[in-house]
């Protein structure tokens, strides 16, 4: 399987979305850490090395943009922001992340981005 040793942090306040992401990533033998509370993600990142983060943009308490800023302050891992409303993600946040994906584009788009970033973690042109 592709990138079997890679660990992906998934943060979304929707358990249903997280479950879908985990099922997808499991098919490709990625290890996953699933978190529904974005405030818990930062302490996890300080304790567990991850290779990539997939973040929902609209979350209560700490949105994906603020979480991306905090992650970027301590890590250079690729960050993928996922949203149903990608047009609402400010350019300043887009500049911090490796890719932005619309949840409406389906799981195929997400997994292609994940595979690409884990092979070559440079930005995809957001």
User: What gap in Å lies between CA 70 and CA 100, rounded to an integer?
Assistant: 17
pTM of the model: 0.90
Which three-class secondary structure state does DSSP give residue 52?
strand
In this structure, the strands spanning 7-11 and 31-35 are parallel
Structure confidence by residue, pLDDT tens digits, 75-94: 999 999 999 999 999 999 99
Domains located in the chain, CATH noted: 7-119 (3.40.50.2300)
* Phi, psi for residue 89 in degrees, rounded to 5: -80, 120
**Cβ distance 84 to 103 under 8 Å?**
yes
CB 3 within 8 A of CB 30: yes
Please write the tens of the pLDDT for every residue from 23-45: 999 999 999 999 999 999 989 98
d(CA 87, CA 74): 27
């Amino acid at each position: 399987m592709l990138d079997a040793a890679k660990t992906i942090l998934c943060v979304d306040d929707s358990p249903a979305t997280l479950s879908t992401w985990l099922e997808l990533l499991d098919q490709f033998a990625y290890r996953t850490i699933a978190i529904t509370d974005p405030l818990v993600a930062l302490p996890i990142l300080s304790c567990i090395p991850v290779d990539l983060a997939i973040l929902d943009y609209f979350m209560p308490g700490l949105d994906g943009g603020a979480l991306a800023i905090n992650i970027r302050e301590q890590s250079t891992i690729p960050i993928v922001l996922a949203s149903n409303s990608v047009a609402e993600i400010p350019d300043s946040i887009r500049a911090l992340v490796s890719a932005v994906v619309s949840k409406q584009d389906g799981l195929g788009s997400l997994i292609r981005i994940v595979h690409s970033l884990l092979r070559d973690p440079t930005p995809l042109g957001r």
